[in-house]
Structure 1
Amino acid sequence: MTEPAAPGWITRYATAVIRFRFPILVFGVIGVVLLATNATALVINDDYRYFFNDDDPQLLAYNDLQDTYNKNDTILFVVAPKQGGVFEPDTLAAIEALTEAAWQIPFATRVDSMTNYQHTEAEGDELIVADLVEDAASLSSEQRAYAAGIATTEPLLRHRLINPAATATGINVTLELPGVKQGEQRPAVARAREIAATMGDQFPGVDIHLTGILMLNNAFDEAAMHDMATLMPLMFAVIALVMALLLRSVSGTVATLTVVGLSVMAAMGFTAWLGIPMSPPSSIAPTLIMTLAVADSIHIIVSILQQMRAGSDKQTAIIESLRLNMQPVFLTSLTTLVGFLSLNASAVVPLNDLGNITSFGVAAAFLMSVTVLPALVAILPLRVTARGEESPLMDKLADFIIARRGPVLAVSVLVVFGFAAMIPNNELNDEFVNYFDTDIPFRAATDFTTEHLTGIYQIEFSLPAAETGGISEPDYLQTIEHFAGWYRAQAKVVHVDVLSDTMKRLNKNMHGGDAAAYTLPASRELSAQYLLLYEMSLPYGLDLNNRIDIDKAATRFVVTVENASSQEMRDLVESGAAWLRANAPTHMQVTGSGIPVIFSYLTLANSIATFQGTLLAFLLITLTLIISLRSFKYGLISLIPNLVPSMVAFGIWGLVDGQVNFGLTVVSALSIGIVVDDTVHFLSKYLRAKREKGLDTEGAIRYAFGTVGRAITVTTLVLILGFMIMMLSDFAMNEGMGKLTAITLALALITDFFMLPALLLVLQPKNEKASAPARPVPAA
C-alpha cells in the first residue's frame, strides 16, 4: 500500500506562486530592500573585551585590576637598528626622538622608554631622579656606555624595554580611550603609524615595529573589514561560476544568485535592526549565508530541470519540484537553523553573533527559495533539452555500492575508527596573537618583539597589603620579593615587574650607591620615606599610579611570559595562586589576571559550553528527523552519517595540526546542521521511493542516487568552496574554521554516498522482494 504523493496544500501553494509570480517577486524584493536599508547602521566591535560575556568572572577580575591602576591599552614601538646596537649615536637619537613624538598620539597618558627611564642617584641626602638619556646626540662614548650598563642590568628595563644584547628596545605608550564608541583606537593607531613612518624616513638605520593591545584591537577591526570587503564578492563570483558550469542554465543561475543576494541583504538588515555589531568571527556570516542559500535553491532548480528534461512543461516542473522538495528543504533549513542557534551556547559572544546572524540568513534563504525563486523561474525563460537518462554517473555509483555493500561498509567502519583514535591528539589552545596570519603587520611585529625583545603575554596580580600604606611594610615587600623570585625561576617567564626592585634600588641610592645596600629597607618608615621622596621627584606622566593604588594598600605585580599555550598560561596562573596560598598571608592570596589569561580560560569554558550546545542540537536534530521521516529506525540510522564526518575531521586535524582554538571548537555545532542536509535529502528520496513507489531497498537507493545525487554533489561542492574561501581570511580563526568545516562537509558527502547506502542495504529486511524496476526514471 502506497501513501499519497504529497500533501495537496503544497500543490495548491505552488500553483498560487506561479499565478501571483509578479506580485510575489516585487513585494519580496521591496521588502528585503527596505529591511536592508538598516545595514548602513552596522558597526564593527573591535574591542577584545567583546569576546566575553559581561558577567565573565575572568573579565570582571581584569576590569577590577584596571580600575585600580591605569588601564593597559598600549602601543609598543619596537626599535631595532639594522646594524650595531641601540646605543649607537644615531639609534639613540632615534629612540629619544620617537619617545618625544609618541606623546602626540591621541589619548596618550604615559610614554615609557629606555631614554626617559627615571634613573636615580643620591648626592648626600638628596635623591636625584632624571632621564637616563638626555640630548642623545651630544653624549660621549663613555656616557653612552654608562647608560647602556644601567639599561641592560636594571630589572625594570631588562627583558621589558631592552634586551640584554642591546639590539632592540621598546617605547611603550599607555592610552586612556574615552570608551564611548567603536573604533576609538583608529586615530591613535593612524598617528602611531605616521610617527613610525616619519621616524623611519628620518632615521633610515633603524626598523620600527608596532605592537601592543591597541594594535591588537585594531587588527581585529581591520581583519573584519577586510573579510567583509573581499570574501563576499569572491564568494558571489564563485557561486555564479559554479552554478553556470554545473546547472548549464542562465535562468537557473540568475534565479539562484537573486535568492543569495536577497538572503544576505535581509540578514544584514535584520542584524543592524537588532543592534548586533560585527566582529572578526561574525564577519564571515555573509559568506556563510551566501553558501547556505545556494543549497536550498540548487535542490529546487535541479529538480525543475530534471522534470523538464523528462518532458514536463515549466509550470508543471515548478509545481512538482516544490511538491518533492518542500519537506526536505524545510527540514534541512530547520536543522541548519538549530545547528547555528546552538552557537548561542558558546562562551564567546562573537560566536553567538555568528550563529544568530547566519540563522537569520538561513531563515531568509528558505523563504526566498519557496517564494521568490519559483516566481522568478516562472517569469524567466527556461529551456532544456529533453532526455531520458539523467545521471549515468550516479547510476554507476549506486550499482557499485549495491554490489559491494559488505566491503564498502567494512572499510568505512575501519576508516572511521582509525581516524577517531587520532582525536585525542588535539589540544585546546588559544594564543590571541595567532588569530592573525603571519603577513598581518600586527602579527609580524609581535613575532619580532617576542623573538628579539620581550614577551607580549602578561599575568597581572593586584597584591593587597594588610592596611592603607601597608605596601611599605618589610614583611609585605619581602613576600612580593620572594614571589618574584619564584616566578623568575619558572619556564616561559621572561620578566617580572615588582615594587621590591625599586625599593632595593632606592635603598642602595640612599646608602651612597653601596652594592651591599641593594636590599629592602629595614623598616616601614624608611620604605615610606624613600617612596615619598621618589614619587615627588618623578615628572608628570611617569608617576607610580600604574604600579601602586591610591591608598598605597596594594601593588601591581606583572609577569611577562613568552609564547605559551592556553594550558601553560593557566598552569602559570594557578601555580602562582598556589604559591601565594602556601607562602603569603590570607589577604594576599589572590589569582592572576590579564588578557592572555582571560583568553586561556575562555577557551576552556567555551569548549565545555560548545560541547553541551552541540549535544543539545544533535538531540533536537535527531528528534526532528525521527518525526519528519516518520520512522524511529531511519531517524536512528541518520545518527551515523551525521556523527561520522565531525569525528573523522577532528581525527584528521589531530594528525595534521592538533591545535584547537575556540573557533574550531564550534565547528561540530556549526557543521552538524549543514552535514544533516545531505542525509535528509538522500533519506527523504529513499523513503519516498519505498513508500510511494513501492520500490525495494536496492531500487530505492538507485532512485535516491538518481533524483538527488547530482543536487547533493552540487550543493556540497558549493558549500566546500564557500568554506574554502574562508581560508583566505586574514583572521586565522576564520581560516581554521573554514578549513576544518570544508573537510567535514567533504567527508559528509563521502559518508552519504558510501557508508549510508551500504548501511541501508545491510539492514534491509531479509525477506524483502524486488517490487519495482531496478532503475526507475528519476523524475517520475
Structure 2
Amino acid sequence: MMLSSPDSEGEGSSRRLPPDRWARLATLLVARPAWVLAGVLLACLAALFLARDVRLDSDPRNFVAQDSPEMQVLQEHYDVFGPSDTTALFVITGPTAGAVLAACGELGDQLMEVVEVLDVASPIHTPLVERSEGGVMIRPVFGPDASEGGSLEVRRARLRGSALGGERLISEDGLTALVAARLPHSHSDPYLSGAALQRLQGEVDEVGARHPTVAIHPGGVPATRVASLRGMERDLALLLPLANLVLAVLLWLHFRSFAAVVLPLSAVGLSVVLMAGVVGLRGEDLNPMTQLTPILLLVVAVADGVHLLARFEEKLRAGMERRAALAAALRSVGVACVLTTATSVLAFLSLLGTQMAVLHSFAIITAAGFVFALLINLTLLPAGLARFGGTPTNPSRRWEHALEAFVRGLVRPRNAWLCVALGILLVAGSLGLSSRAGIDFFLGEVLPPDHEVSAGNRLLDAQLGGMLPIEIQVRGEPGSVLEPKALAGLAALEERVVAEGFSGVLGLAGQLGELRQASTGEAGLPTTRAEASQLLLFAELGTPPGGLYLTDPDQSRVRMTATAADLGGRWLQARRARIEAAGDELLGGLDLTTHVTGSAVVSASGFNTLAGELVRGLLFALLVIVAVIGILFRSWRTALASLLPNVLPLLLVLAWYGATNRHLDLFPAVLLTIAVGIAVDDTIHLLTRYRQELPGAATHQEAIVRATTHCIGAVLTTSVILICGMGVLVLSSFPANVTSGFLGGALIALALLCDLLFAPAALAVLRPGVPGGKESP
C-alpha cells in the first residue's frame, strides 16, 4: 500500500468517486448493512464461546522467561523443598507483650484446625531444642508447654537468637509477633490460596474480637498476590463500565447524535469480545498486564471511529448525499486508519523481541484487539450509520478560524525554523535527563498504602526482618553437604547473608551447631558426617515459618532461608549476585554450587529485566514506525517530519522521571509503549490529510493550514477521549495503574501539543511532496 492523494475532491463536490477498493467496500457496506451486522455478531458469539474459561492470574512468576536459568533453578528447588510462597502470614501487634502472645496462642491453635493448614509457626508453637538436667528437651519458649525458666525478656532473646530464624517470629520489644500457617504446595495458585486465606481470615476475625487490644494484619507474598488478584477483578468490574460511560459522554458532547455514541462504543466493545476469544483460543488467562488491554482498547480504538464520523459530517456539510458521504468518508479515512493501526500493532509486536513469554502474549493479544477494532470500525460503523441513520455535528468548527490564524503564523519560514529548533533543543535536553531515569520494582507498592495487607507488609519490614522470603540452595554430590568442611563453609555463608542485610537466617550449619551444643554441651559444628546425620534427625522436629526441610534425602542439596525488607528489585538482585559470589568463594573449592532463588528473587529479576527491555524496545519501535511511515508515504521527508512530534513526548516523560529521581515501574513502562503507539496515530491522520490537500493547494503552507484546521478537530476529540479514558485508571486498586493513568494522560496531552506545534512546523521546513527539486507526491 502506497499513499499518494486518495481524496482530492473539492469541498462542494458531490460527483461520484472513481471506483477503487475503498469505494467498492463502501458500496457493499451501505448496500448490505444487515449482512455486516449479522456477520459481526456471529463472530462475537464464537469469541464468547472460546473465552468461557478465561480467568485472572496474578502470579508474578509469569513475568519471568519460563525457560530461563533462574526459572529452572526455582522449579528444581521447589520440586525438592516445596514452594516458599505458600505460607500465610499474620502480624499481631498490641500494647503489651502478654497481650500479643495470648493472641498468638489462640490464633495458632485455631488455624491448626483449618483443613488446608499443614502446620503453624509462632512464638507459642515453634519448639526449640534445649539442654536440661534430664537430657535434651524440645519445647517452645512461650505458651503452656514452655519451660518455666527465665523472664519474658530472656525467653524472647533466646527465641530471637536461635538458629530457627526466631527473628521472624517476634520483635525485639515483644510488641509485634508473627503467626505463620503453611499451606499445601498446590496453593501457589492464587485462586486456591485466596479461598484458604478467606477461611483463615474468618479465624483471625474471631480471635481479634476476643482480643480487642491487639491488631492482626495479613501480610507476605501470598496475601499480596491474592489482594492484587481481587483488585484486578474490581478494576475490570468498575473501570470498564466507567470508561464506557466517560466515552459516551464525550462522544455525545462532540457529535450530539445517538448513533454517533452507540455505534463507536458498540464497535469497540465487540472488538474487546473478539480479543477475549483470542485469549481463550491461546489457552491463557488475564494477568496484571493483559487485564488492562480491554480498557485501553476501548479507549484507543474509538479514535478511528471519531475520525470517520468527523469526515462523514464534513462530507454531509459539503453537500453530499448521505450514502455518498459515507463512501467518501470511508475512502478518505480508511487508508489513515489502516496505517495508524499498523503502527500501533507494530509498537506492540516489537515486544516479541524480548525474552519474556508474558510480553509475547501481551503483544499478540493486544495487537489482535487493535486489528479487530480496525475491521469492525471500517465495517460495522458505516453499515450501522447506513442502517440506523443519525447525523453527527461537529462543534469544533466554531474555533477553526482562530486555529487557522495560529497555524498560518506558525508555518511562516522564520517561525517554522524557530519552532523546529526549539523542538531539537528539547530533544537534546530530554535525552540527557532521561538517561538518569531508573527502573525498579517494589512488591510492597503493588497495593495501596492504606490496604490492610500493605500495613502487614510494613510491619514485617520494620519489625520482623522483612516481607520477602529468599531461598539459597547449595548443591553438590550425594552426602557432600554434611561433610565437616562443607558445614564450615555453610556457616560462613550464613554470616555473609546476615551481613548483606537479611534477617531470620535459617540454615543447616547454624542449626546443627545449636543442636550439638544442646545435646552434648559442646559448642561448634559436627566433626564427622555421621554426627551431622544424627543431629539432622533433631532438626526435623522444628517448625519455623515455611516448614523446615533443610536438605534432600541423599544430602546432595542444602537449603538456607532468610527474609528481607522490600528495598526494591535492584537491591535484591545486587545482594543475590554478592551472595552467589560469596558461595563460590567459600564453597566452590568443595565442588559445591550456590544459587539464590525463590519467587521474590526470580520475580524481581523478571520485572526489572522486563521494564528495561520495554524501554529499549519502545525506542526501537519508534524508529521502525518512522521508517514505515517513510516507506508507505514514499517520502523520507514525511518520515522526518513525523519524528519530532512522536519522539519528543516520550523523551519528556522519561526526562521527568530522571529529573525527579523516580523509578520507572513495569506497568508504567508498558503504558509508555501503548501510549506512544496511540500518539503516532494522530500524527498519521495529520500527515495523510496533508498529502490529500497538497495537490489542490496553492502552496505547501496552504496545504498544511488546511490539513491542520480540518484534522485537528478530530485529533483534539480523540486526544481528550484518550486522556479522560486513561484518567479512569486513577480509580484503580493498583498504585502502578494510578501512575499509569496520570502518565498516559500526560503523554497524550504532550503528543497533542507536539502535533499542533512541531508537526506543522516540520512540514513547513521539510516540504515533503513539494515539486520543484524536492519530492513529488
Fold match by TM threshold 0.5: yes
- 3-state SS of paired residue (1:583): helix
CA distance in 2, matches of 1:174, 1:307: 68
The match for 1:107 among 101, 106, 116 is 116
Alignment of 1:566-645 (within 5 A): 566-584=569-587, 585-607=589-611, 609-611=613-615, 613-614=617-618, 617-645=621-649
Distance (whole Å) between structure 2 residues aligned to residue 525 and residue 629 of structure 1: 79
Q: What's the CA shift string for 1:480-509, capped at 9, x where partnerless? A: 11112222223x323322222222322322
1:116 is matched with 125
How does 1:146-295 map onto structure 2 within 5 Å? 146-178=154-186, 183-295=191-303
Aligned residue among 657, 664, 675 for 1:671: 675
Deviation at 1:158, TM superposition (A): 3.9
Question: Alignment partner of 1:184: what SS?
Answer: helix
2:535 is aligned, of 508, 530, 533, to 530
Relative to structure 2, which stretch is displaced further, 637-646 or 695-704?
637-646
Alpha-carbon distance between aligned partners in 2 of 1:528 and 1:180, rounded to the nearest angstrom: 32
Which residue among 464, 480, 492 is the counterpart of 1:482? 492
Residue 666 of structure 2 aligns with an amino acid whose one-letter code is F
1:25 aligns with 2:37: yes
Of the structure 1 ranges 178-187 and 256-265, higher mean CA displacement relative to structure 2 is found in: 178-187
Report the equivalent of 1:776.
Answer: none
The answer for the alignment partner of 1:416 in structure 2 is 427
SS across alignment from 1:244: helix
Match of 1:703 in 2: 706
The verdict on how the C-alpha distance between 1:458 and 1:7 changes in structure 2, with shifts beyond 3 A counting, is farther
**More displaced stretch, 107-116 vs 144-153:** 144-153
Which residue number in structure 2 is paired with residue 648 of structure 1?
Answer: 652
Q: Does the 8 Å CA contact 1:347/1:602 hold for their aligned counterparts?
A: no
Find 1:51's aligned residue among 54, 63, 66: 63
- Residue 571 of structure 1 aligns to a residue whose secondary structure is helix
Partner of 1:736: 739
SS at match of 1:727: helix
User: How far 1:180 moved relative to its partner?
Assistant: 10
Deviation (angstroms), 1:477 = 1.9
Q: Whole-Å Cα distance in 2 between the matches of residues 684 and 619 of structure 1? A: 19
Kindly indicate whether residue 403 of structure 2 is the aligned counterpart of residue 362 of structure 1: no
The reply to whether residue 520 of structure 1 matches residue 531 of structure 2 is no
Secondary structure at the counterpart of residue 139 of structure 2: strand
After TM superposition, give the deviation of residue 94 of structure 1 in Å: 1.6
Is 1:500 the counterpart of 2:509? The answer is yes
CA distance in 2, matches of 1:727, 1:646: 20
Change in Cα spacing, 1:723 to 1:576, as seen in structure 2 (3 Å) is: same
Alignment-derived partner of residue 53 in structure 2: 41
Q: Report the Cα offset of residue 366 of structure 1.
A: 0.9
The change in CA–CA distance for 1:764 and 1:270 in structure 2 (over 3 A counts) is closer
CA 150–310 in structure 1, closer or farther in 2 if over 3 Å, else same: same
Structure 2 counterpart of 1:78: 90
Deviations 1:329-382 (A, max 9, x none): 111111111212223334444443332222222111111111110111123333
Tell me if structure 2 keeps the 8 A contact 1:333–1:366. yes
**Contact between 2:23 and 2:331, CA under 8 Å: does it hold in 1?**
yes
Question: 1:208 aligns to what SS in structure 2?
Answer: strand
In the TM superposition, what is the alpha-carbon distance from 1:131 to its structure 2 partner? 2.8
In structure 1, which of residues 429, 442, 461 is the aligned counterpart of residue 453 of structure 2? Answer: 442
475 and 215 in structure 1: CA distance in 2 versus 1, 3 angstrom threshold:
same
Query: How many Å separate the matches in 2 of 1:543 and 1:374?
Result: 61
Alignment of 1:554 onto 2:557 = yes
The answer to which of 338-347 and 261-270 deviates more is 338-347
Does residue 685 (structure 1) correspond to residue 674 (structure 2)? The answer is no
Aligned pairs, number: 756
Instruction: Report the equivalent of 1:778.
Output: none
- How far apart in 2 are the matches of 1:398 and 1:176? 67
**Which residue identity is paired with 2:657?**
W
**Partner secondary structure for residue 474 of structure 2:** strand
**What is the one-letter code of the residue matched to 1:714?**
T
Q: Structure 1 residue 540: deviation in Å?
A: 9.1
- Long gaps (5+) in structure 1: 770-780
Matched, 1:64 2:57: no
Deviations 1:373-398 (A, max 9, x none): 01111233334679997723431331
State the partner residue of 1:296.
Answer: 304
Shift of 1:75: 3.4
- Following superposition, the deviation at residue 457 of structure 1 comes to 2.2
Residues 106 and 191, structure 1, Cα contact 8 Å, conserved in 2: no
Indicate the SS of the match to 2:509.
helix
Shift of 1:167: 1.3
| Secondary structure, aligned partner of 1:663 | helix
**Residue of structure 1 in register with 2:466 after alignment:** 455
Would the aligned equivalents of 2:257 and 2:393 in 1 still touch at CA under 8 Å? no
Q: Does residue 709 of structure 2 align to residue 718 of structure 1?
A: no
Normalised by the length of structure 2, the TM-score is 0.90
Q: Which AA in structure 1 matches 2:95?
A: Q
Deviation at 1:567, TM superposition (A): 2.2
SS at match of 2:732: coil
CA offsets 1:39-59 (integer angstroms, 9 cap, x no match): 332122233322223212212
Cα distance in structure 2, aligned partners of 1:683 and 1:301: 19
Q: Give distance in 1, aligned partners of 2:308 and 2:219.
A: 51
Q: Aligned equivalents of 2:731 and 2:539: distance in 1?
A: 53
Per-residue CA deviations over 1:294-319 (Å, capped at 9, x if unaligned) read 11100000111122233333222212
Aligned equivalents of 1:70 and 1:385: distance in 2?
Answer: 64
Post-superposition CA distance 1:640-699 (Å, at most 9, x none): 3222221111112223452122333334432332221111111111111113x1442210
Work out the CA distance in 2 between the residues paired with 1:540 and 1:377.
Answer: 69
Change in Cα spacing, 1:147 to 1:255, as seen in structure 2 (3 Å) is same
> What amino acid maps onto 1:748 in structure 2?
A
2:141 to 132, 153, 156: 132
Residue in structure 2 matched with residue 91 of structure 1 by the alignment: 100
- 1:321 is aligned to 329
Helix, strand or coil for the counterpart of 1:121? Answer: strand
Give the direction of change, closer, same or farther, for the CA distance of 1:345–1:437 in structure 2 (3 Å limit): farther
In 1, are the aligned partners of 2:435 and 2:658 still within 8 Å (CA)?
yes
Give how far 1:580 is off: 2.2
1:25 CA displacement: 2.2
Is the contact between residue 603 and residue 662 of structure 1 (CA under 8 Å) also seen in structure 2?
A: yes
Residues 611/739 of structure 1: CA separation in 2 closer, same or farther (3 Å cut): same
Q: CA 1:205 to 1:668, structure 2 compared with 1: closer, same or farther past 3 Å?
A: closer
Decide whether aligned partners of structure 1 residues 767 and 44 sit closer, same or farther in structure 2, where only a CA change above 3 A counts. Answer: closer
Preserved CA contact (<8 Å) 1:133 1:147: yes
What percentage of aligned pairs have identical amino acids? 23
SS at match of 1:590: strand
Measured after TM superposition, the shift of residue 95 of structure 1 is: 0.8
Instruction: Could you tell me which runs of 5 or more consecutive residues in structure 2 were left unpaired when the two chains were aligned.
Output: 9-17, 773-777
Secondary structure at the aligned position of 2:469 is classed as strand
Q: Structure 1 counterpart of 2:136, which letter?
A: L
- Report the CA distance shift for 1:212/1:310 in structure 2 as closer, same or farther (over 3 A): same
Q: Is contact 2:255–2:394 with CA below 8 Å preserved after alignment?
A: no
The aligned residue for residue 662 of structure 2 is: 658
Q: Distance in 1 between matches of 2:134 and 2:110?
A: 35
Check whether the contact 2:465–2:565 (CA below 8 A) recurs between aligned residues.
yes
Amino acid at match of 2:680: V
In structure 2, the CA distance between the partners of 1:50 and 1:220, relative to structure 1 (3 Å rule), is farther
Which stretch of the first structure deviates more once superposed, 118-127 or 553-562? 118-127
Instruction: Please report how far the alpha carbon of residue 117 of structure 1 lies from its aligned counterpart in structure 2 after TM superposition.
Output: 1.7
Kindly indicate whether the alpha-carbon contact (under 8 Å) linking 2:7 and 2:332 is maintained by their aligned counterparts in 1.
no
Matches of 2:115 and 2:617, distance apart in 1: 43
